[in-house]
């Protein structure tokens, strides 16, 4: 006589029950689009890029179906796109989730705020220029100061504007390390523009770190003497110091020198007295300065 469990179709030979389809039903792409508030075109794009892949695709017709549980992901994608987040980063948030996804969103939004702050500065400058020359540089206060002679560690390169920021960002730390055997830097690093730097002109550009003259023989990098001079300068916040906004500051100092009947006595420079990497958009980080003569 067969055991009762065999008669009933259960036991070690019985198939486990299939998961209930009603717990997470498949939805047609039309229903899914309506409930997720995403267009059919967007869903096809997200599928192609791997951002939101359907749970089932008919091998013959290509018809897409999604699980109801995917609606939360679809709504997340929609909200991220309303932040103008690129799809590559949207995909990173979706695949990572949790703390890492939150970090991606935070980093993206910090970059947006930096860009908007920079654009705000440029828009204010352009608006002032269009309102008349007498207001062109109203946002800048030009001041003067005397700079003593300095011995500096120096690194010089011909560089076009697309590579400029990366090179300066690497050269300053290199020279700061080279200054350590000389007792460290003796003043703020500065960048001298010996020629125009743009898409077509490559300077040259020189990065300088002042050191103690008495210990210059210990330096492992090239050195030179920067002569004493008087200079006209403007102080900039981080948002103002990025390209192309910083060009407005160079224009402002140059115009002031002309209006004051003064003469330029050397190449213009940027003097970095604060940590650029850790500064916020509204923090003061550098001066744009021109050596001048006359009074």
C-alpha distances in Å from residue 73, one per residue of 36, 44, 50, 260, 292:
9, 15, 13, 62, 61
pLDDT, mean of each 10-residue run, the chain (295 residues): 39 41 85 93 93 91 92 94 93 90 93 82 73 63 95 95 90 94 94 90 94 87 94 92 81 90 94 87 93 85
Helix, strand, or coil (residue 153): strand
**Using CA atoms, how far apart are residues 213 and 51, in angstroms rounded to an integer?**
59
Enumerate the H helices of the chain as residue ranges: 4-7, 29-36, 40-49, 71-82, 87-96, 98-130, 161-179, 246-259
Instruction: Give the total residue count for the chain.
Output: 295
Q: Nearest-CA neighbor of 161 among 280, 233, 247, 274?
A: 247
Backbone angles phi, psi at 217, to 5 degrees: -70, -15
pLDDT tens digit sequence for 62-109: 899 999 999 999 999 999 999 999 999 999 999 988 899 999 999 999
| CB-CB contact of 285 with 238 (8 Å) | yes
- Residue 10 CB-half CA count within 13 A: 4
**Using CA atoms, how far apart are residues 236 and 286, in angstroms rounded to an integer?**
6
C-alpha distances in Å from residue 116, one per residue of 109, 121, 164, 181:
10, 9, 21, 41
Q: What is the pTM of this model?
A: 0.60
Nearest-5° Cα angle at 146, 141 to 147 = 110
81: its two tokens: 């796109």
Query: What is the DSSP track for 224-242?
Result: EEEPPEEEEEEEEEGGGSS
Burial class (CB in 10 A: 0-12, 13-18, 19+), 253: buried
**Using CA atoms, how far apart are residues 127 and 73, in angstroms rounded to an integer?**
43
**Using CA atoms, how far apart are residues 255 and 138, in angstroms rounded to an integer?**
12
Q: Would you give the DSSP letter of residue 201?
A: -
| CB-CB contact of 235 with 113 (8 Å) | no
**Using CA atoms, how far apart are residues 158 and 172, in angstroms rounded to an integer?**
16
Average pLDDT value over all residues in the chain: 86
């Amino acid at each position: 006589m067969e055991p009762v469990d065999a008669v009933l179709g259960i036991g070690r030979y019985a198939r486990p029950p299939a998961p209930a389809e009603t717990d997470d039903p498949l939805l047609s792409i039309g229903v899914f689009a309506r409930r997720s508030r995403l267009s059919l075109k967007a869903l096809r794009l997200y599928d192609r890029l791997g951002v939101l892949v359907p749970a089932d695709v008919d091998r013959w017709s290509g018809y897409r179906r999604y699980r109801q549980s995917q609606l939360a992901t679809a709504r997340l994608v929609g909200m991220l796109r309303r932040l103008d987040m690129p799809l590559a980063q949207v995909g990173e948030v979706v695949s990572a989730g949790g703390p890492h996804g939150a970090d991606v969103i935070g980093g993206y939004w910090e970059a947006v705020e930096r860009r908007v702050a920079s654009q705000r500065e440029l828009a204010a400058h352009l608006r002032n220029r269009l309102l008349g020359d007498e207001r062109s540089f109203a946002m800048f206060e030009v001041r003067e100061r005397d700079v003593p002679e300095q011995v500096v560690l120096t690194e010089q390169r011909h560089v076009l504007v697309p590579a400029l920021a990366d090179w300066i960002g690497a050269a300053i730390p290199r020279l700061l390390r080279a200054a350590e055997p000389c007792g460290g830097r003796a003043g703020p690093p500065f960048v001298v523009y010996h020629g125009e730097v743009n898409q077509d002109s490559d300077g040259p550009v020189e990065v300088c770190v002042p050191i103690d003259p008495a210990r210059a023989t210990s330096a492992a990098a090239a050195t030179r003497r920067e002569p004493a001079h008087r200079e006209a300068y403007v102080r900039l916040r981080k948002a103002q110091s990025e390209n192309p906004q910083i060009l407005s500051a160079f224009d402002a100092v140059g115009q002031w020198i002309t209006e004051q009947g003064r003469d330029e006595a050397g190449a213009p420079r940027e003097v970095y007295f604060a940590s650029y990497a850790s500064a916020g958009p509204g923090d003061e980080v550098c001066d744009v300065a021109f050596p001048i003569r006359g009074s």
